[in-house]
Amino acid sequence: MPMQHPRLSIEMIVYRLGVGLLMLAGASVCGAAEIDQLTPPAAPVPPFYFGIHNHRFHDQAMRPMIDFGTWRLWGAGVEWTLLQPKENEWNFRRLDFALSVANSSDYDVLLTFGRTPRWASAQPDRRSFYGPGEAAPPRNMNDFARFVRRVASRYKGRIKSYEVWNEPASSGFFSGTVEQMVEMTRIVDQEVARADPTARIVCPSPAKYESLNWFGRFVAAGGANYCDIIGYHFYTDSEFPEERLNLIRKVFDVLKAHDLTTKPVWDTESGLSIGNKNADSPAASARGHIARWLILTWASGVERFYWYAWDHDRLGFVNPSGDMREPELAAYQIVQKWMLGSSFQECARVDQRWNCHLTLKNGKSAILFWTQDNSKQAVDVTPPVWLEDLHGFAGSIQGGLVSITGDPVLVVQ
Domains of the chain: 7-38+348-412 (2.60.40), 47-340 (3.20.20.80)
Degrees, nearest 5: CA angle 325-326-327: 105
* Distance separating alpha carbons of residues 140 and 277, to the nearest angstrom: 47
pLDDT at 4: 35
**Residues 260 and 219: beta-carbon distance below 8 Å:** yes
* pLDDT of amino acid 31: 53
pTM given for the model: 0.92
Is 104 exposed, middle or buried, given 0-12, 13-18 or 19+ CB atoms closer than 10 A? exposed
- 8 A C-beta contact, residue 204 and residue 169: no
Peptide bond into 85 cis (omega under 30): no
pLDDT per residue rounded down to tens, the chain (413 residues): 333 333 223 333 333 222 223 333 333 334 567 899 999 999 999 999 999 999 999 999 999 999 999 999 999 999 999 999 999 999 999 999 999 999 999 999 999 999 999 999 999 999 999 999 999 999 999 999 999 999 999 999 999 999 999 999 999 999 999 999 999 999 999 999 999 999 999 999 999 999 999 999 999 999 999 999 999 999 998 999 999 999 999 999 999 999 999 999 999 999 999 987 667 888 899 999 999 999 999 999 999 999 999 999 999 999 988 899 999 999 999 999 999 999 999 999 999 999 999 999 999 999 999 999 999 999 988 778 999 999 999 999 887 889 999 999 999 98
What is the chain's Cα-based Rg?
23
- The maximal CA–CA distance of the chain, rounded, in angstroms, is 76
pLDDT of res. 381: 84
